[in-house]
Amino acid sequence: MIDLIKENVPYLEIKEKQKSSIDPTTIDQFMIPRAKSMELEGLEDLINLISTVMVNNFSLYHYKQNDRHIYFVYVVIHDFYNFRGIPLLIYTFSDYEPDLFLKYQPNRNPIIKMTSKFEDANAVYIKIIKVKKLPQCLNFSY
């Protein structure tokens, strides 16, 4: 495979040559670059970032590692890198136990709270997706 890349064989041609030699049980570890990471100061920073960049209806992922709560988003910055985009893992550590939603009230003294229901029309509710096992490309152990 590396020889094909060194020879500048077009990407589609490489994909065709790979098809016959790929074991479907190992596809997760095959040619998937590890995401670059960016750690933020706190959960409020992550909320502010994704609420300004992403459209309505965004979610946060939660992963528990060694009794630490990690909240993150995974994005690909397209047309930037060798493989048609650079994968970026934006995360922060937090003491908040996850629930169904993160309730965020952006005012003079911002309020962040985990909840299982919608309680206030003036708040933003962000869906929390709990991840049991991370793919290798999203590994937090750097």
**Beta-strand pair 101-105/111-115:** antiparallel
**Count of structural domains, the chain:** 2
Is the pLDDT at 50 greater than 50, yes or no? yes
Residues 1 and 56 in one domain: no
- Taking only the tens place, the pLDDT of each residue in 75-127 is 877 776 566 777 888 999 999 999 999 999 888 888 899 999 998 888 888 99
Is the pLDDT at 7 greater than 70, yes or no? no
Residues 53 and 75 in one domain: yes
Mean pLDDT (the chain) is: 77
Is the pLDDT at 135 greater than 60, yes or no? yes
Residue 101 resides in a domain: yes
Domain encompassing residue 46:
33-134
pLDDT of residue 45: 92
Residues 40 and 27 in one domain: no
Instruction: Indicate the pTM of the whole model.
Output: 0.71
Residues 1 and 58 in one domain: no
Residues 22 and 51 in one domain: no
Residues 11 and 51 in one domain: no
Please state which of the ranges 16-25, 34-43, 102-111 shows the lowest mean pLDDT: 16-25
Concatenating the DSSP letter of every residue in 17-85 gives: HHHTT--GGGGGGSS-PPPEEEE-S-HHHHHHHHHHHS-SS-EEEEEEETTEEEEEEEEEEETSSTTSE
Residues 87 and 100 in one domain: yes
Residues 66 and 115 in one domain: yes
Residues 77 and 118 in one domain: yes
Is the pLDDT at 60 greater than 70, yes or no? yes
Residues 48 and 2 in one domain: no
pLDDT of residue 20: 54
Tokens 């934006």 belong to 90
Residue 142 resides in a domain: no
Residue 51 resides in a domain: yes
Question: Which residue has better confidence, 78 or 139?
Answer: 78
Phi, psi of 29 (to 5 degrees): -100, 5
Residues 63 and 92 in one domain: yes
Residues 51 and 116 in one domain: yes
